[in-house]
Structure 1
């Protein structure tokens, strides 16, 4: 931005995104060159940030692990494709659910205690629990979760869950037996 020596004009331009300001009375070739370099570096950095964000999003969407987020009350805000495939819930369905609806009822309180401890200690939590798919299938998972911060305050939780049923061949038989027994009772 090129301006006179008006502070109000400078502030207004900065509010609207001006990266640098040159004052006409003190304009020199060197200050103009420096300003152009600053603007170009800023543009390159924004482009780099955008590219990185795209790459990270690609990693999340193509991961074989479940990657999810929820707010501090446990209301789901996102889940990747792997999570949707495993749970059989769509992104739209998940975003209307609380984590307690996806976690096995006998595990929900334990998961909530991990979240409370994580909030108190400001450290990541690692634990195992059982998720329940849309059709009622129980899925053992290993979870690593951490807090999401905005302006220094925790606003949510981001987690990665790994399906353990593939590593536990007898697990599906056990859960099928449990479901049959509970149906008969």
Structure 2
């Protein structure tokens, strides 16, 4: 599939942050916070060592999807999180399925807890949604999380996303527990000036 993120002029700047494509040079900075228990408990893959994480990063083509979120500290920039922006196909009946190719964005994120409570994640995800509905021209954006991950679903609601699904014990956590999940979505026509970046 074509790398649609090449359409964006990087870096993208917000009021306090800048976002750019992740590179292999970012692996250690990302690992520093993703290895923390309070982060690992909610992310999809939590490899046990830096070497495993580096191998996963390269094998999964993370640079094609992940955006590095950087904060200007006054003494340079600090990578404080990532936002995954995966462009996916919508569903369509066989006669029109070609028109549903690459029309939706699926978002995910992880941030260093040391920078929590300051609105950085909200600011970065808002910017990613703006990219989806702006230069990328997508029609719909989705995001999912464990229902117990309250900060994530509250972030989605702050940005005007609508809860479309609450699954009961449908997602197996790495701790062995079947947990509830939630899915949120937003259509391009629902993204107003008051919610856009």
Using structure 2 for the length normalisation, give the TM-score: 0.25
> What is the TM-score of this pair, normalised by structure 1?
0.26
Q: Which has the higher contact order (CA 8 A, sep 6+)?
A: 2
Give the structure with the larger strand fraction.
2
More helix by share: 1
Larger Rg over CA atoms: 1
